[in-house]
């Protein structure tokens, strides 16, 4: 690329036609599946008031918000101050995720939404993160959530949809790793870890299946975590890593802890189900997931042997109500859309010719324009997708253009053709060509 024209902003991308087609292929499968399952589409504005966004994503998140500058007289008045405060310069920001906007929507339209509300949302979000491979400043999230249900059936409903989507994408060999926040906090409490240290300890334990027991124990020692925990951990690690652990084997450990029996019961219910189409459900007893706000079952979508996650989610019963007077229980899942696209690319699983026209028509002579337009129009009316090269063309120029497109047939329309009511055609894959009456060309193109 040798150009002096300004590029798109750092961390953002232009999607040229083939990239858009690939993205739409994936988004289409996801949307159609969620619709089929009764999830309803929601879209919210790119900008939100800062009071909606600030303080919801932790200190780090606040720093990553893109904020929108005041304009006109309002800005002018602010700039006359000295010193100028950042908070006076802006009252809007770009959305950072799709969960906080959902919480606002739930509070804004209590009458229009059903008490139990199943929605999905595929839109870009913006974060001023340091750009890196696979990390962008504008990227798409694809969230599905059920508001208003306290029951595990809500999680299972989402799992069923995930299974269908993955199968339809050709990624049916997935694993859904599940765990439960109340099991984790029961486990840590049984090991005498004070609640204030749970988050730190979970952050370390979460790495068990990536870095192994030795590294985890070492990090726990560095972090000065309670000795009781470190003594019992090797035994627990062994039982967690041996074969497929079942929650009932650990029920007695958390029987007296708040939420412990409930967590074990829910894990059992999920594992008792055969699981979503294609994939399998695996209990991962130390899976923790990063976000603070989860309160129940949590889950992560993986495809071995890829190490990264293809999406994740959990139950978060205290977040959606933040703008309302009443609490609203919620479960959600977020697809890693960019990751899914990468995986399909790596496996070469995008469909061929997706979205491209079946044929390109070239008009060889200005005198035949109206006839050629009508001929092409009649082919399109028969459901055929026909591109028109928008210049009066010579055959060579047309072939050069077609060469850059994924097209099977070329049609030539000149004065000979008009006079005889025919179309000349060439099949670029087989090299065949011919001239047939206009009425017969559609059967060749099919």
Site for its own copies in 354-413 (CB under 8 A): 355, 357, 360, 363, 369-370, 373-374, 376-377, 380-381, 385-392, 401, 404-405
- Using CB under 8 A, pick the residue from 59, 60, 114, 307 that binds its own copies: 114
Query: Is 141 a binder of its own copies (CB under 8 A)?
Result: no
Asked whether the beta carbons of 56 and 100 are under 8 A apart, the reply is yes
Query: Is 112 a binder of its own copies (CB under 8 A)?
Result: yes
What is the total count of residues that contact its own copies (CB under 8 A)? Answer: 112
Q: Is 38 left (phi over 0), alpha (psi -120 to 50) or beta?
A: left
Q: Which is nearer to its own copies, 210 or 404 (CB)?
A: 404
Q: Which is nearer to its own copies, 126 or 237 (CB)?
A: 126
Query: Is 353 a binder of its own copies (CB under 8 A)?
Result: no
Q: What is the rounded end-to-end Cα distance, in angstroms, of the chain?
A: 38
> Would you give the DSSP letter of residue 248?
G
Q: What is the Cα–Cα distance from 277 to 284, expressed in whole angstroms?
A: 20
- Torsion sign over Cα 201, 202, 203, 206: positive
Asked whether the beta carbons of 177 and 312 are under 8 A apart, the reply is no
For the CA atoms of 367, 371, 373, 378, the dihedral, rounded to the nearest 10 degrees, stands at -170
Taking the complex as a whole, the smallest distance from the CB of residue 277 to its own copies amounts, in Å, to 6
Specify the DSSP element, H or E, that contains 270: helix 260-272
Q: Which is nearer to its own copies, 274 or 292 (CB)?
A: 274
State which of positions 16-75 bind its own copies (CB under 8 A): 16-17, 20-21, 23-24, 35-38, 40-49, 51-52, 63-69, 71-72, 75
Q: What is the Cα–Cα distance from 209 to 204, expressed in whole angstroms?
A: 11
Contact partners, residue 138, CB within 8 Å, separation at least 6: 11, 12, 13, 124, 125, 126
From residue 103, alpha-carbon distances to 34, 39, 44, 420 in Å are 20, 17, 11, 66
Q: What is the Cα–Cα distance from 19 to 8, expressed in whole angstroms?
A: 16
Tell me the two tokens of residue 124.
């870009």
Encoded one letter per residue, x for contact with its own copies by CB under 8 A and - for no contact, window 184-223 reads ----------------------------------------
- Span near its own copies by CB under 8 A; candidates 90-98, 236-244, 298-306, 344-352: 90-98
Query: Is 92 a binder of its own copies (CB under 8 A)?
Result: yes
- Span near its own copies by CB under 8 A; candidates 99-107, 185-193, 199-207, 238-246: 99-107
Query: Is 277 a binder of its own copies (CB under 8 A)?
Result: yes
Q: Which is nearer to its own copies, 64 or 241 (CB)?
A: 64
- Span near its own copies by CB under 8 A; candidates 9-17, 189-197, 253-261, 302-310: 9-17
> Would you give the DSSP letter of residue 65?
-
Q: Which is nearer to its own copies, 374 or 440 (CB)?
A: 374
Q: Which is nearer to its own copies, 116 or 192 (CB)?
A: 116
Query: Is 307 a binder of its own copies (CB under 8 A)?
Result: no
Longest dimension (CA), the chain: 94
Query: Is 304 a binder of its own copies (CB under 8 A)?
Result: no
Q: Which is nearer to its own copies, 202 or 386 (CB)?
A: 386
Asked whether the beta carbons of 95 and 49 are under 8 A apart, the reply is no
Q: Which is nearer to its own copies, 216 or 375 (CB)?
A: 375
């Amino acid at each position: 690329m040798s150009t002096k024209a300004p590029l798109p902003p750092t961390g953002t991308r232009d999607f040229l036609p083939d990239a858009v087609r690939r993205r739409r292929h994936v988004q289409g499968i996801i949307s159609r599946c969620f619709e089929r399952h009764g999830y309803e589409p929601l879209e919210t504005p790119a900008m939100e008031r800062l009071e909606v966004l600030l303080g919801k994503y932790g200190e780090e998140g606040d720093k990553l918000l893109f904020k929108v500058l005041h304009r006109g007289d309002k800005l002018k008045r602010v700039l006359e101050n000295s010193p100028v405060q950042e908070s006076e310069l802006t009252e809007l920001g770009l959305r950072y995720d799709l969960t906080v906007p959902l919480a606002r929507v739930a509070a804004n339209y209590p009458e229009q939404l059903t008490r139990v509300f199943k929605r999905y949302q595929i839109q870009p979000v913006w974060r001023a993160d340091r750009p890196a491979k696979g990390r962008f400043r504008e990227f798409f999230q694809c969230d599905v959530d059920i508001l208003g249900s306290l029951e595990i059936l809500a999680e299972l409903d989402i799992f069923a949809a995930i299974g269908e989507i993955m199968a339809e994408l050709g990624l049916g060999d997935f694993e859904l790793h599940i765990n439960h926040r109340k099991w984790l906090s029961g486990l840590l409490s049984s090991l005498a870890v004070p609640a204030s240290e749970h988050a730190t300890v979970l952050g370390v334990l979460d790495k068990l299946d990536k870095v192994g027991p030795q590294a985890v124990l070492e990090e726990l020692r560095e972090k000065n975590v309670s000795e009781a925990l470190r003594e019992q951990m090797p035994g627990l690690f062994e039982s967690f890593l041996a074969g497929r652990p079942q929650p009932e084997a650990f029920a007695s450990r958390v029987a007296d802890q708040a939420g412990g029996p409930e967590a074990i019961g829910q894990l059992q219910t999920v594992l008792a189900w055969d699981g979503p189409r294609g994939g399998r459900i695996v209990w991962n007893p130390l899976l923790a997931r990063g976000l603070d706000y989860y309160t129940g079952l949590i889950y992560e979508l993986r495809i071995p042997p890829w190490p990264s996650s293809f999406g994740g989610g959990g139950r978060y019963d205290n977040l959606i109500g933040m703008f309302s007077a009443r609490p609203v229980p919620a479960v959600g899942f977020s697809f890693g859309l960019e990751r899914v696209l990468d995986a399909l690319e790596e496996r070469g699983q995008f469909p061929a010719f997706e979205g491209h026209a079946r044929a390109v028509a070239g008009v060889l002579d200005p005198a035949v324009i109206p006839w050629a337009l009508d001929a092409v129009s009649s082919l399109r009316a028969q459901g055929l997708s026909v591109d028109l090269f928008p210049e009066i063309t010579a055959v060579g120029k047309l072939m050069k253009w077609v060469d850059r497109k994924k097209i099977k047939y070329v049609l030539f329309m000149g004065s000979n053709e008009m006079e005889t009511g025919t179309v000349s055609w060439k099949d670029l894959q087989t090299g065949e060509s011919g001239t047939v009456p206009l009425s017969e060309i559609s059967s060749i193109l099919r």
